[in-house]
Amino acid sequence: MSLRARTLLGPGPSNPYPEATVALGQPLLGHLDPVFLAILDETSDRLRHVFGTANRRTLPLSATGSAGMEAAFVNTVGPGDVVVVAVNGLFGERMVEVASRCGAQVVRVDHEWGQPVDAERVLAAHPAPKVIAAVHAETSTGVRSDLEPLGAGKGDALLLADCVTSLGGIPVQLDDWGVDLAYSGSQKCLGVAPGLAPFTISDRAWGRRIGKPQSWYLDLGLLGGYAGEATGSGRTYHHTAPTGMVVSLHAGLGRILDEGLDAVHARHEEAGRLLHAGLQELGLELFAAEGYRLPELTTVKVPDGVHSAAVRKELLERFDIEIGGGVGAHATTVWRIGLMGANATPDKVALVLAALEDVLG
């Protein structure tokens, strides 16, 4: 079977860094092989670097970003615990759902989609929550929210952040910002295929986790025996880690750190700036609030009279370019264009602008 190569300029997955793809062709290692465990440890080190944290317990979970979200909630939230969730898009909504399933008393703070999180309102929503949760980069709307004011004002609460679309694309400084739990996904700006959820938890949050989480698979206490608590010896089997994917993530992170984290962020910033300007030159209007637009995920309004799905279909069939539709109430009125990881380059910007201009006629 031979698949056509697509240019993945949607909300993820993105085309991986070549280094991550090459790594998938390496010989498969066992999940307790010392060579693999050394790669796993180095992967955790590299994740600490991109997350901006010294957290001991930092590891790639063997599942997608949503499992990172589940792990963060099920390990810290039990029946009756108060959780304040900032909702400004689909993934804030998902947090509400996940926290509710843990039995939490959820206090949701709704925002207009396309706007960033208002830290003052979120902090004022409850006097003593156990957890405050927010999405750093809302993929459904293309909006960045500042986590630092939430960390500064969190008081005794734990701050839980979704960094699925931010990590590897825009600066993330968890320790400086006071974030206690965070997760990401391998398939976006980290430039690796889908399948892993980088995850980190502070000592403070670790000390307050609940005794026996409802999920066996995502119980960090059990997982710690294999990875998080690891010192290189005496590791025990918990589940069969997807070793090939970890080796690929290791390579993707290596590529990012070789290029330099600041340079990688600057590359995303520049690509996003070019795309935003180019779309506006085509007469299109951006959706996300100015000043909070993500460079790695741009939302643009579908012009009146244009059929959103037909344009996406034509881009895919004629140019092998994938872009995303909108979400929820904006499903047919917004497109989402990703410039993540390896695709955050001026040539991809020129490609998608030219193809869009052609299709829109």
The residues that touch ligand PLP, with contacts defined as CB under 6 A, are: 11-12, 64-66, 69, 91, 135, 139, 162, 164-165, 185, 194
Segments of 102-171 assigned E as strands: 105-110, 131-135, 137-138, 143-144, 158-162
In this complex, which beta carbon is closest to ligand PLP, that of residue 37 or of residue 182? Answer: 182
In this complex, which beta carbon is closest to ligand PLP, that of residue 7 or of residue 165? Answer: 165
In this complex, which beta carbon is closest to ligand PLP, that of residue 37 or of residue 180? Answer: 180
Rounded-to-integer distance, Cα 183 and Cα 169, Å: 14
Q: How many residues are there in the chain?
A: 361
Rounded-to-integer distance, Cα 52 and Cα 177, Å: 9
- State which amino acid sits at residue 218: L
Nearest residue (beta carbon) to ligand PLP: 65
Q: Smallest gap, in angstroms, from Cβ of residue 89 to ligand PLP? A: 8
Q: Are 175 and 52 in contact (CB under 8 A)?
A: yes
Rounded-to-integer distance, Cα 182 and Cα 173, Å: 11
Q: Smallest gap, in angstroms, from Cβ of residue 361 to ligand PLP? A: 31
336 labelled binding-site residue: yes
Q: Smallest gap, in angstroms, from Cβ of residue 211 to ligand PLP? A: 26
In this complex, which beta carbon is closest to ligand PLP, that of residue 29 or of residue 102? Answer: 102
Report the half-sphere exposure of 70 (CA within 13 A, side-chain side).
16
Q: Are 299 and 334 in contact (CB under 8 A)?
A: yes
Strands 131-135 and 158-162: parallel
Q: Smallest gap, in angstroms, from Cβ of residue 13 to ligand PLP? A: 9
Alpha carbon distance, N-terminus to C-terminus of the chain: 35
**Collapsed DSSP state (helix, strand, coil) of residue 251:** helix
In this complex, which beta carbon is closest to ligand PLP, that of residue 29 or of residue 95? Answer: 95
Report the half-sphere exposure of 331 (CA within 13 A, side-chain side).
2
Q: Smallest gap, in angstroms, from Cβ of residue 234 to ligand PLP? A: 32
In this complex, which beta carbon is closest to ligand PLP, that of residue 189 or of residue 311? Answer: 189
Rounded-to-integer distance, Cα 161 and Cα 182, Å: 5
Q: Smallest gap, in angstroms, from Cβ of residue 283 to ligand PLP? A: 28
* Packed helices 261-281 and 243-259: angle between N→C axes, nearest 10 degrees: 80
Q: Smallest gap, in angstroms, from Cβ of residue 138 to ligand PLP? A: 6
- State which amino acid sits at residue 164: V
Q: Which residues are annotated as a binding site for substrate?
A: 336
